[in-house]
Structure 1
Amino acid sequence: MGFELPTGTDPVAVRKRIEAMEQLLERSFRIPGVNYPIGLDSIIGLVPVLGDIVTTAMGAYIVWEAKNLGLPKWKIWRMMGNVGFDAVLGAVPVVGDAADFLFRSNTRNLRIVKKHLDKHHPAARTIDG
């Protein structure tokens, strides 16, 4: 493909996998003309029912990785709330498609994981560019 994801369970490998999933779901394409980033969450979410199930499962993967990192339960619940809120919004036919552009649950969850890793695993910190 052009890049490989690490397979380890160390914080650096997990962080890279979560960042890659977030980018795929939220920022993998740009809308021409307005230069607004969108991802598979917005595109697959246009498919009724099945699209919302797929994107919710992909968002739940980020929560699963965070749980394996040992994030506190309250942060895991917060992340599950973000994914659940996105799934509930996505179930509403037109409103859900518009909400995918505005409410980026995976980006919010990535932020939670990064804050935790920066505090508890400073060696996993990367320079954001």
Structure 2
Amino acid sequence: MDIRRRIMRLRRLATLLDAAFVVPGTHFRWGLDTLIGLLPVAGTLVMALPSLYIIWEAHRMNVPGRLLVRMIGNVAVELLADFVPVLGDLVDTVYKANLRNIALLEDHFGMTVDGTARETTPPR
């Protein structure tokens, strides 16, 4: 599977986790991470698995180690915040670590949000 298709598949997963639902009458989005994260401890651990899967896929795409460290850091922010009641749920809803990680991958591979290659023209 080519990189573009892999990243688009990971973007669909990240959107489901971080921004699948809209609060009616607003532009505010939330996902399964917020919903399942409401379960104390177990919700945090369950939702860490798809986040780590996204990082594993990035590793399989041979992204540089520094990028993997940034991605791990994004997930760590949410995981650590999740151990504080209420604050963790708020951080899950606002921070959106999975979408941040997809944006890092897209930037690294020169893609736009829709999965197409970003136009790059050499400077004159």
- TM over 0.5: same fold? yes
Number of the residue aligned with 2:102: 110
Q: Does 1:21 align with 2:44?
A: no
**Partners of 2:63 and 2:34 in 1: how far apart?**
27
Number of the residue aligned with 2:121: none
**Partners of 1:58 and 1:125 in 2: how far apart?**
21
Point out where structure 1 has 5 or more consecutive residues left out of the alignment: 1-7
- What are the superposed Cα offsets for residues 7-26 of structure 1, whole Å, 9 maximum, x if unpaired? x3x20221122111111111
TM-score normalised by structure 1 residue count: 0.82
Give the one of 63, 84, 94 matched to 1:71: 63
Which structure has more helix as a fraction of its residues?
1
- What are the superposed Cα offsets for residues 35-62 of structure 1, whole Å, 9 maximum, x if unpaired? 4111001111111111101111111111
Q: Helix, strand or coil for the counterpart of 2:109?
A: helix
**Partners of 1:71 and 1:97 in 2: how far apart?**
30
User: Cα distance, 1:125 vs. partner?
Assistant: 4.2
Give the one of 78, 96, 116 matched to 1:126: 116
- What are the superposed Cα offsets for residues 59-109 of structure 1, whole Å, 9 maximum, x if unpaired? 111111111111000000110111111100011111111111211111110
Q: Helix, strand or coil for the counterpart of 1:93?
A: coil
Number of residues of Structure 1 aligned to a counterpart in Structure 2: 117
Of structures 1 and 2, the one scoring higher in RCO (CA 8 A, sep 6+) is 2
- Conserved 8 A contact 1:28-1:40: yes
Q: Helix, strand or coil for the counterpart of 2:86?
A: helix
Measured on the aligned residues, the alpha-carbon RMSD in Å equals: 2.1
Give me the identity figure in percent: 34
> Structure 1 residues 33-42 or 108-117, which shifts more?
33-42
TM-score normalised by structure 2 residue count: 0.85
- Conserved 8 A contact 1:25-1:41: yes
User: Cα distance, 1:115 vs. partner?
Assistant: 0.7
Instruction: Spell out structure 1 runs of 4+ moving beyond 3 A.
Output: none
Q: Helix, strand or coil for the counterpart of 1:92?
A: coil
User: Cα distance, 1:33 vs. partner?
Assistant: 2.9
Q: Does 1:34 align with 2:26?
A: yes
